[in-house]
Amino acid sequence: MARKHNYLNNKDILTEIHTSKRTYCTYRNEELDHQFDLILDHIDDINGDGVSVASTVHPDAIWHTTITNKIKRTSKHGTKFVTKLTHGTYANKHGEHLSPKAELDSILSIVPNIQIAKDNKAKRIAKGAYDAAVFAGEKVKQAQFAIDPYSYTLQDLVFRINTFEHIPLAPPKPTKVKAKRKKIIESDLLHDVSDDGDLIETPPDKIKYVRVNFPPFFHYRFNEREQLFQVAQSHWVGEYNGEGFDGEFNIEHDDGHMTEKLAKMFRMLCERYATKANWRGYTYNDEMRGQAMLQLSVIGLQFNEMKSQNPFAYYTAAVNNAFCRVLNIEKRNQSIRDDILEMNDFTPSYSRQNEHDMARAGNLPQSNHGDVISIDPATGERKVLTAMDVEDIKFEATGKRPVIKKPKAKKKIVAKPKFPRTTLA
């Protein structure tokens, strides 16, 4: 039996996103420096502490663990063992016992970022070797490919730092409206003065950079002297000079492109989403798919791996928004068209007629597009129908008034008399 395979999964999407971003970057050695082990916001955070991505307690985080037991849980996906905390206390590296809430915060915050990068590298390489063996048809277990994270040195790690240092500033937009001249009022009470008597400087405007197709970044490594040096730079065309990169900023890059496989994933996602029951019946379904494909081609590489590892949800939300945008535009255009047809005494669309019939039947006193208008064929007089008018029209058609059911009276419960028990003498 063939192994079940999802038509799209986060692992393959993340791989194609990374491959696409590589084409917009310049590397010292692309084969060695393209794969990052940890993403951070600042270079100073490399030697700091971070949040552990592991669900279990990290060995570098505490001195001792607590007593635990394993609960056996069986489901349709198989049997698994879940570790549950029974009793005991955690202590930080200073030997201080922690409360339950501070417990978790301390455990997840004192793991060094360097150790987290080692863990990520070991898991990625082990998972890649296991997948390659499974693809080759071998019957192996994932535990056979486990790698000790402590076997890696600092020189084996690559850190991605999100930064806009090399991105030029965007030119200011010209303002069409002239600023109004305000009346100047001089008064000592209106000056911005701090407690020390100095004038408070107004904050500068928000810095705006040139818009790029994905968050820019640098890649860093450690050398033999355990000093950081740059090995990669995004949105840049140039050569490595030993300390940095010579060249110039370039948004499109010489060979920057989205991979063909990622484009096929976008097309497959749009086609599968368009076949859902709530979308496949619209006559403008093709326009919805086209709008979704256009949206994905614009934001496809803007997914930030630092914030989430679920690009499928990110792209699905973008496709849903594109479909809803087209639907709202079409509904608005149809409503305007029906109003124009009614104003010129022409037959509107079937949806508007259906709403009008339901209003006449009394199900809806008003339609979703406003009041229901009745036109006298003899005089051409227009009249807005109210709820009472709808009831009269229904009575003329059926000859029956709606029956108003009276609420049933509650039955009074009479307690039965209790007779004393009699015993035979």
Of 345-349, 368-372, 404-408, give the range with the top mean pLDDT: 345-349
pLDDT in tens, 352-368: 888 777 766 654 445 55
Contact 106, 98 (CB under 8 A): yes
Eight-state DSSP code of residue 197: S
For tokens 């990625």, name the residue: 124
Give the confidence band of 63 by pLDDT, cuts at 50, 70, 90.
very low
Contact 350, 359 (CB under 8 A): no
pLDDT in tens, 194-246: 555 554 444 555 788 899 999 999 999 999 998 999 999 999 988 888 878 88
The confidence score (pLDDT) of residue 232 equals: 93
> Order of strands, edge to edge, in the sheet holding 228-234?
25-27, 228-234, 217-222, 159-162, 38-40
Q: Among 144-148, 174-178, 200-204, 366-370, where is mean pLDDT lowest?
A: 200-204
Locate all alpha helices (DSSP H) within 278-349, ordered by sequence: 285-299, 311-343
- Helix (H) or strand (E) run with residue 69 in it: strand 67-75
For β-strands 38-40 and 159-162, DSSP reports them as parallel
The confidence score (pLDDT) of residue 177 equals: 60
Please give the share of the chain, as a percent, with pLDDT higher than 90: 40
The average pLDDT across 172-187 equals 62
Contact 64, 91 (CB under 8 A): yes
Q: How far apart are CA 289 and CA 273, in angstroms?
A: 9
> Phi and psi for 332 in degrees, rounded to 5?
-65, -40
> Phi and psi for 33 in degrees, rounded to 5?
-110, 0
pLDDT at residue 351 is higher than 80? yes
The confidence score (pLDDT) of residue 108 equals: 45
Q: Mean pLDDT score of the chain, rounded to an integer?
A: 77
Contact 21, 301 (CB under 8 A): yes
Alpha carbon distances (Å) from 24 to 250, 301, 312:
9, 11, 22
pTM: 0.66
pLDDT top residue among 184 and 291: 291
pLDDT top residue among 366 and 272: 272
Q: Is 178 helix (H, G, I), strand (E, B) or coil?
A: coil
Cβ neighbours for 41, distance < 8 A, ≥ 6 positions apart: 161, 162, 306
Give the confidence band of 28 by pLDDT, cuts at 50, 70, 90.
very high
